[in-house]
Amino acid sequence: MINIARTETAPDCLKKQQNYECENVLEKLKIDFFGKCYICETSLFSTNVEHFKAHRGDKKLKFEWTNLFLACGHCNNIKLSTDILNCTDSKHDVENWISYKPIFVPVGEVEISAKRKNKLTIDTVNILNKVYNGHTNIKTTDAQKIKDEIVKEMIVLQRLLLQYSKEKYNELEITDIEKDIRKKLHKGSKLTAFKRQVIKDNKLKFLLS
Ligand SMILES: [Zn+2]
């Protein structure tokens, strides 16, 4: 999970309070959320408009632009109505309050832990652990697809970091490699939180600026 800056103006069609998936709501969400689910940070499963806070018939919550998020079925189904950290709220520093331990082989167990011991962070971590590891037979099969994706992303990042550390490349080549690393760490890239964690843990923070 990473922090997202949401478009401030809500699509006009939401004012009618008839259909929360009206006109360009989904398109706008796809731009703001970089086309990926805000929970698992992938686009492996089809994404849809999710109510961050369950509306339970409350019209305001149902059509409130800031309550509409882009989430995939796999994650939505695990989160249900649990209150979790809001990645679109800049006061919730989701990247630094949660620790992401990536895997480098597909059989590994993804470890997500809370750096901040408040209920919201702990509940978010519990959801993320289920999302990445599964807790039922079906969810474990879907979680495996995400794990495979984590391994693939890590392989690419490792290869780039290996090239970056070699002296055989000239200045121009190093600039290109650095550009590729930064692309992999950009919010628009998948599973960014895992890759940024590796960078932070290895004193390469300058690559995040
Ligand atoms: Zn998801």
Q: What is the DSSP string of 127-159?
A: HHHHHHH-SSHHHHHHHHHHHHHHHHHHHHHHH
CA dihedral (133, 135, 136, 138) positive or negative: negative
CA 96 to CA 6: how far, in whole Å? 19
User: Which secondary structure element, helix H or strand E, spans residue 208, and what is its range?
Assistant: none
How many whole angstroms from its chain centre is CA 106?
19
Q: How far is the CA of 113 from the centre of ligand 1 (A)?
A: 18
Q: How far is the CA of 143 from the centre of ligand 1 (A)?
A: 10
Per-residue pLDDT of the chain (209 residues; tens, 9 = 90+): 999 999 999 999 998 899 999 878 999 999 999 999 999 999 999 999 999 999 998 999 999 999 999 999 999 999 999 999 999 999 999 999 999 999 999 998 999 999 999 999 999 999 999 999 998 888 999 999 999 999 999 999 999 999 998 878 888 899 999 999 999 999 999 999 999 999 999 888 888 87
Give the closest residue to 149 by CA, choosing from 38, 40, 32: 40
Q: How far is the CA of 201 from the centre of ligand 1 (A)?
A: 25
Q: How far is the CA of 170 from the centre of ligand 1 (A)?
A: 40
Q: How far is the CA of 158 from the centre of ligand 1 (A)?
A: 24
